[in-house]
Chain A
């Protein structure tokens, strides 16, 4: 059986459910609510994208889903079992790379299996397959600092996939990349998803990225964040950037989503200092037009 089939057959895509989860920090009169009564489902085998103005509490939500922090109220379950802490079935790709700088690419990828003592012949073959899959076969001995931004992201994808998580969580992973590499990574990542159909939860502030990747789009409100709107993106797969630009359906979704997003972004601006009012001014002019 080729490694690709081993990988595909081993995948047990999970379903992550959040039921009116909320999170606040601090104590006494200094509390600050970041997530309030937020409920949503990340369906099995679907690529769900969450979009919201930057600083609206998305990263806090990711830390709750990954189990690094506990919600103040509400529950999070993966395939029915409650999420108690970080585990291999929910792996996170952070905004900045978390490749271990002191390990070569190969050691980074094999970290998970080695940590759990599950290194078999098959794992090594899988590692080889993943290395070639992400195009880093002749960069195995390099250290992360010697790789470009795009390569680091792909190495991290390989490091996560070898642990075969039931759900992959990505927090604006392509944010630091330049626009061109970013677009290439979109196509690369969505092809990877289409091949394995693992449950993916992708967070971003870029509307084009969201529409290109998503089966289902969650639009989040301003801080304290909750689900403001849900869009089913019924664009055909496999998705190509060229057809995204032409298709009227995707542009129509984009305009609808943008109008809600601007509404939310405006709320976060209007509460700031005088200078923020000018941002609102710029937005209101645009809203008047579209």
Chain B
């Protein structure tokens, strides 16, 4: 947080972290009844882009994220990262790796490790750094993200907003190509949420990583994203792609600008429709 936003160097796009989702289909078979979660979804995300995935709860957005991260298989289609095949019909399950790190909805900081040990976990496990270097780098990155002072607390002792930031720093410690965020700010109250948005952008401007961000909140999507993909209810596929042409670096005043409100109106209708369909179908909370 120390570097003033305005003074940040003009934003140059990195050359890595481009994701191509090509005609992906995913069919679950919970006790026999085949349920299609993803229906021929195709989406392109450029390197270093913030791509927001917006859709009603339980529509299959998380299934897409799990496929990219390599937790679940896909039934058919392909997913590429910088041209290499992550998973395809032949190799349905991508193998997880530190180039694609997930930040989970209810958080996955190890409660039994201090915040510092959590952040240093990645490089330590992969043996890139020895213990003291890893802790040193971790301390630096945490201070950089405004988390100095909570290194030796356990995750359970700090606020949920702060836990979110520690988790993102833990991800960035491994210099990933892609950050996969699954509704990270859902449980926060809106005042803390607004601070989290700025903190995320702050970290993004310094680390230039591609962000695949799942959310229900349209305002959050348009405020943060370069690109907003609005998904249909289950089975999900992109219904409308919105290129958000508000220049980066952005900050909160964007929210009340005229252009932002126009973008909101343009997409609100599409999102509302899908929400009603999900609402009517009595979808149990995703």
Contact A206 B190 (CB under 8 A): yes
Contact B216 A207 (CB under 8 A): no
Contact A245 B265 (CB under 8 A): yes
CA distance A271 to B198 in the complex (A): 21
What are 22 A-B pairs with beta-carbon distances under 8 A?
A: A148-B285, A149-B285, A178-B217, A178-B286, A179-B215, A179-B216, A180-B271, A181-B275, A181-B279, A184-B275, A208-B190, A245-B261, A255-B256, A274-B148, A275-B148, A282-B146, A282-B195, A282-B198, A283-B195, A285-B198, A286-B194, A290-B256
Q: Does B218 sit at the interface, judged by CB under 8 A?
A: yes
**Which residues A40-80 have CB closer than 8 A to chain B?**
53-54
When distances are taken between beta carbons in the complex, the residues of chain B under 8 Å from A290 are: 252-253, 256
Q: Does A281 sit at the interface, judged by CB under 8 A?
A: yes
When distances are taken between beta carbons in the complex, the residues of chain B under 8 Å from A206 are: 189-190
Interface of chain A, main secondary structure: helix
In this complex, the member of B4, B57, B220, B268 whose beta carbon has the largest number of chain A beta carbons within 10 angstroms is B57
Closest to A53 in B: B191
Contact B265 A175 (CB under 8 A): no
CA distance A30 to B264 in the complex (A): 50
When distances are taken between beta carbons in the complex, the residues of chain B under 8 Å from A235 are: none
Contact B192 A282 (CB under 8 A): no
Contact A54 B189 (CB under 8 A): yes
**Which residues B94-146 have CB closer than 8 A to chain A?**
146
Q: Does A246 sit at the interface, judged by CB under 8 A?
A: yes
Taking a contact as CB atoms closer than 8 A, the residue among B199, B272, B282 that contacts A148 in the complex is B282
Q: Does B35 sit at the interface, judged by CB under 8 A?
A: no
Enumerate the 10 nearest inter-chain pairs by beta-carbon distance, A residue then B residue, closest first.
Answer: A278-B146, A179-B217, A274-B149, A178-B216, A180-B275, A205-B189, A179-B216, A206-B190, A148-B285, A54-B189
Given A177-B285, A241-B268, list of 11 further CB < 8 A pairs?
A53-B191, A146-B284, A148-B284, A179-B215, A179-B218, A180-B272, A180-B275, A181-B216, A275-B146, A286-B194, A286-B253
Q: Does B1 sit at the interface, judged by CB under 8 A?
A: yes
| Interface size class, chain A | 35 or more
**Which residues A150-205 have CB closer than 8 A to chain B?**
150-151, 172, 175-181, 183-184, 205
Nearest chain B CB to A146's CB is how many angstroms away?
8
| Interface size class, chain B | 35 or more
In this complex, the member of B146, B162, B274, B276 whose beta carbon has the largest number of chain A beta carbons within 10 angstroms is B146
In this complex, the member of A178, A181, A205 whose beta carbon has the largest number of chain B beta carbons within 10 angstroms is A178
**Which residues A245-268 have CB closer than 8 A to chain B?**
245-246, 251, 254-255, 261, 265
CA distance A261 to B191 in the complex (A): 9
When distances are taken between beta carbons in the complex, the residues of chain A under 8 Å from B276 are: 184
Residues of chain B whose beta carbon lies under 8 Å from any beta carbon of chain A:
1, 4-5, 56-57, 146-150, 158, 162, 183, 186-187, 189-192, 194-195, 198-199, 215-220, 251-253, 256, 261, 264-265, 268, 271-272, 274-276, 278-279, 282-286
Taking a contact as CB atoms closer than 8 A, the residue among B162, B220, B251, B285 that contacts A285 in the complex is B251
When distances are taken between beta carbons in the complex, the residues of chain B under 8 Å from A180 are: 56-57, 216, 218, 271-272, 274-275, 278
**Which residues A198-253 have CB closer than 8 A to chain B?**
205-208, 241-242, 245-246, 251
CA distance A146 to B283 in the complex (A): 11
When distances are taken between beta carbons in the complex, the residues of chain B under 8 Å from A286 are: 194, 198, 251-253
Contact B195 A279 (CB under 8 A): yes
When distances are taken between beta carbons in the complex, the residues of chain B under 8 Å from A183 are: 275
CA distance A274 to B153 in the complex (A): 13
Q: Does A31 sit at the interface, judged by CB under 8 A?
A: no
